Amino acid sequence: MGFDCTVVEPSEVKRAIAKNRGYISFKSLNDIQLKSEHSVAFVCTPPAYHIEQTIWALEREMRVFLEKPIGIGLKECRKLLSYDHSKIFVGYTYRWNLQFIALRQTIETGQIGTPYFANFSMGMHLEDWHPQENYREFFMSKKSLGGGALLDESHFIDLALALFGIPNKILGTVSKISELEIDSDDYVNIEMQYNSLIANITMNLFKRPHESKIEVYGTKGSIICDFTNKVNILTQTLEYAKSNTTIKKFNYSRNETFNSMLSDFIGFTISDELTPRVNFLQSLKVMEVVEKVRESNRLEKWITFSESK
């Protein structure tokens, strides 16, 4: 199967690279002249442009791969409710990660009993993300473009919602605490309370070495999903002070996860029967949590999920 691709890129250098690789390229959407066969759009720009560009594509009846987060503010994201958002496929990549899939199966099959505590942690120094470029020029450094730990690492909010659903209330901290020369947030801590479970999410842009991990503790054991070292550790209670631990090692590349996600997207674009693994409405729930975290940080108090601003 072949595809005709058109690249829209404001950077002259990157447009030249696209041209050298055989793609037609334009500086902006205003310059592009689409032919009728263009039926798919990839929106992989800084989050500040996501909603505007997704609307542009939906108005032209395209199916859309929308990079996470879907936008920078809940009110703006809700604009897409007026369009056919069933055509949107959201790129929360960790949903295709083999370790997360295995962790979810471990929980759903009752191997650790009833979960009562979960910890999600992510940390990586921003200078290490794109070593080939100055991090100060990277969109992640700029609040106005939608940079920062809360939005970009909302992966972990999405995973928490996928595992446990919507919490009853949220307490959040969003800060800039490191030496990084950025105006976006670099530290986020979220506590989510459910009826019989507490989930804690910590994300930062200054940690070395890199850490990416989920830990879930239940009435019959625990499961640790260590993305950095590619191991899942299952500990099951046998009797008082005794347990059995199983370590499962995974062998995959980061690119394989992206390929799996894009394979699903291609299937979604050519079949009306396939639905996105992560759809727009699910991702809108992530943005609702983001908004509650911001509100909690501003008011310095717990916010119930049913509260409206």
In CATH, what number is assigned to the domain containing residue 193? 3.30.360.10
What's the CA angle centered on 246, arms 241 and 250, to 5 degrees? 150
Rounded Cα–Cα distance for residues 209 and 203 (Å):
14
Residues 170 and 209 occupy one common structural domain? yes
Residues 41 and 176 occupy one common structural domain? no
Q: What mean pLDDT comes out for the span 126-131?
A: 92
CA dihedral angle for residue 7, residue 64, residue 258, residue 189, rounded to 10 degrees? 110
Residues 110 and 51 occupy one common structural domain? no
Q: What mean pLDDT comes out for the span 19-34?
A: 79
Length of the chain: 309
Rounded Cα–Cα distance for residues 253 and 26 (Å):
32
Q: What mean pLDDT comes out for the span 22-51?
A: 83
Domain residue limits at 265: 6-92+260-278
pTM value is 0.93
CA dihedral angle for residue 144, residue 145, residue 150, residue 154, rounded to 10 degrees? 150
pLDDT tens per residue across span 58-97: 998 999 999 999 999 999 999 999 999 999 999 999 999 9
Share of the chain above pLDDT 90, in %: 81
Residues 159 and 208 occupy one common structural domain? yes
Into how many domains does the chain fold? 2
Residues 213 and 68 occupy one common structural domain? no
Q: How confident is the model at residue 2 (pLDDT cuts 50, 70, 90)?
A: low
The CATH number for 77's domain is 3.40.50.720
Residues 68 and 105 occupy one common structural domain? no
Asked, for residue 232, whether it belongs to a domain, the answer is yes
Q: What is the pLDDT of residue 279?
A: 97
Residues 203 and 66 occupy one common structural domain? no
Q: What is the pLDDT of residue 111?
A: 97
Rounded Cα–Cα distance for residues 90 and 270 (Å):
16
Asked, for residue 1, whether it belongs to a domain, the answer is no
Residues 67 and 47 occupy one common structural domain? yes
Q: How confident is the model at residue 309 (pLDDT cuts 50, 70, 90)?
A: very low
Asked, for residue 233, whether it belongs to a domain, the answer is yes
Residues 272 and 190 occupy one common structural domain? no
Rounded Cα–Cα distance for residues 196 and 277 (Å):
27
Q: Are 246 and 257 in contact (CB under 8 A)?
A: no
Residues 117 and 221 occupy one common structural domain? yes
Residues 18 and 113 occupy one common structural domain? no
- Whether residue 251 is predicted with pLDDT greater than 90 in this model: the reply is yes
Residues 14 and 53 occupy one common structural domain? yes
Asked, for residue 108, whether it belongs to a domain, the answer is yes
Q: Which DSSP string do the residues of 66-104 spell out, in sequence order?
A: EESSS-S-HHHHGGGGGS-GGGEEEE-GGGG-HHHHHHH
* Residue 222 φ/ψ, nearest 5 degrees: -145, 160
Asked, for residue 168, whether it belongs to a domain, the answer is yes
